[in-house]
Every structure is written in structure tokens, then in C-alpha cells.
Amino acid sequence: MPNLNQTIDRSLAISRGVTTVLDRRMKDAAAAYVERTRRAQASYATPLGPANGMNFQQAWRDWCEYGVDFAQRSVLFWDTIRERGNNWIAHEAAGKPPVLAYRYEVLSDGRRFERVGDKVPGSPEAPLSWDAIVAKFRDCASVAARPIAQEKIEQAQERARNLESLDDATMLLKALTQ
């Protein structure tokens, strides 16, 4: 069993060593910070000095233009916030009606369908057959923004049919994008 006095002396020596190292590192860090701050201040202040040809009138004009731009953007921002608040208050006062409520559909030729459809094809009550899904997919693909080649459509159709056997579902998308 070590001597208690030796243990205490060793503990104090370690503590003094740690304190000395910490003190030295803190002083070095403070000196490095002061030096970096001086260099940054010197490099920032130098271009603005009159000896370097800085035009203070131009700097003042630039600052004023910035202030005007800031004020205009602030007014626009707060006006938008005010309008949103007014819209919200009006919506609350109206009893929070649905924002998107479709009672009927107006077609391009002006006809209206006002009756609610039951068992719409593709709904859970009337699921589409595989052939109907394929026909719908081909119809949509025919008017795509970027034309899709026929073989890619067939490849995607085959991968969709065998989706459970694919290692990765992104293979279906790759059939259309590659």
C-alpha cells in the first residue's frame, strides 16, 4: 500500500502540472486571438482610409441607398404579413370554411357535372383492372413533357407488374428515366 503522503504529493504535482499547461495554453490562445484580431482590423480598416482614395461621399450614398432598399423591403414584408393576418381573421370569422371545396367540375366545353359519382373507376369501391391501369399509364405517358420511348414504357409496365419481385422499387423509376 502506497504511503498517503506520497499519494497526496503526487496528486498535487499532477494538479500543478495541469494548471501550468492550461495557463500556458490560455495565454497562447489569448495572444493568438489578439494578433488575429489586429490583423483582421488592419486589413478591414486599410481600404477605408483616406490615404487609399476612399470616397466618403460615395460610401455615404451607398449606405443611404442600402437604407432605402431596406426600408422598402421592410414595408413590403410587413404589408404581406398584414394581408395574411387579415385573410386569416376573415377566414376565422366565416367559421373556417374549407379552402378547397369542389361542388362541381366545369369542363373546357362548359358542361358541368354536379352529381357526386359513386364507385368512380380506380376508387376502392371500383378498382381498376390491370389492363385499365396499363391503358391509363400509356395514355398519360403519351403526353409526358419529355417523350418516353415505347420500349421504356413496356419495361416500366413489366416492372410494375412484378413489383414484389424487384430488389429495389427505384428500378421501376429507372426504367423511365434512363
pLDDT in tens, 47-84: 555 545 567 888 888 899 999 999 999 999 999 999 99
- The CA angle 105-107-110, to the nearest 5 degrees, is 110
Q: Using one digit for the tens of pLDDT, what is the confidence trace for 92-109?
A: 898 888 776 655 566 677
Asked if residue 134 lies in contact with residue 154, where contact means CB atoms within 8 angstroms, the answer is no
| E-strand stretches of the chain | 105-106, 112-113
> What 3-state DSSP class applies to 119?
coil
Q: What pLDDT is attached to residue 5?
A: 82
- Residue 149's pLDDT is 83
Q: What is the pLDDT of residues 118-140, one digit of tens each?
A: 777 888 888 888 898 888 888 88
pLDDT tens column, 22-40: 999 999 999 999 999 988 8
Cα dihedral sign, 85-87-93-97: negative
Rounded Cα–Cα distance for residues 163 and 13 (Å) = 71
* Maximum pairwise Cα distance, the chain: 103
